[in-house]
Amino acid sequence: MGLYPQPNQWQCGPFALKHALVALGISAEEKVIARIAGTNWWYGTDEIQLGKAARYFHCNMLMIRRHDPERARRELVGYLKKGIPSLLCVYEWGHWVTVVKAESGKFILLDSKDKAVLTIQSWAELKSNWVYHERDEVDRRHFETIYDFHPVVPRFRVQTKAKFSVARAKFLRRHENRRLSRAWDDYVADLLTLCTPRTPLSERVISLGEFCRRHEQMILDQVDHWHGTINRRAASRILKNIHFVADTYGLVIRKEDEKRAIAGLTTILTLWAAAEYGVHPVY
């Protein structure tokens, strides 16, 4: 799982829905979505099939059609401001993408055709890709413009949503951060076992940034001591990735769980070190 490109030309629909679910803090594999939706190689996946798969994950995929681009933009932005991602079928209904944020005239998309997946488009770019031209049945020389979008609305109270931004998208688009993108779902799943979403009523909690300030060196010392051959800079980068993902989802650590988080993150980092560098027999 994670944010990685689609391996073929016909799985963009399951990838787009997976990306919408990721934005809502829901982990789902595109293979599972494809199986539920009935995706096939000669046709791909239409909005009805994707709606069926969305319901399996307790979400409704709405169908909204507008003919005026400015009205379509306003309504799309309205859903995005509520933290609701939307699927768009772009390139004359030839490819599915997911829009997750609008910021300062830019739109952040998750596009499984892009090597970095996270993409940033201006309104002019998005409008050009989004529009579908339908030939008028009466006057075959005339085309009607259509802007369809499909907000993915959860039928339950979402614990945490991804707060993507242009700055975060640019960070994840860097080649050196592709490994973080590819393992995105794994980072989120691990963090949800140790952290809790920050709410307006949250008290006695600390951010991952503060947690790392307090304990990062101690955790690195312990892992380095017991393993013996880790690259401390690489290990520190894993903790920075964890911090980045936690901040994206607004996850914090309860003060009463601080010791548990130390043990948990030390264990995660130890397993990473064993997988990265191998281990010798212990006893």
The tens digit of pLDDT for each residue in 227-248 reads 888 899 999 999 999 999 999 9
Domain boundaries, the chain: 12-154, 183-277
Q: Return the DSSP state at 114.
A: S
Residue 140: pLDDT over 70? no
CA 100 to chain centre: 8
Mean pLDDT score, 25-53: 92
Q: pLDDT by residue (tens digit) across 161-208?
A: 899 999 999 999 999 999 999 999 899 999 999 999 987 777 899 999
The first and second tokens of residue 19, run together, are 């990306």
Which amino acid is residue 213, in one-letter code?
R
User: In angstroms, rounded to a whole number, what is the distance separating the alpha carbons of residues 168 and 248?
Assistant: 8
Residue 39 binned pLDDT confidence (cut-offs 50, 70, 90): very high
Q: Give the integer Cα–Cα distance in Å for 154 and 84.
A: 8
CATH code assigned to 12-154? 3.90.70.10
Q: How far apart are the first and last CA of the chain?
A: 35
Q: Nearest 10 degrees: CA dihedral of 167, 173, 179, 180?
A: 20
Higher per-residue confidence, 138 vs 216: 216
**Residue 117 in contact with residue 184, Cβ under 8 Å?**
no
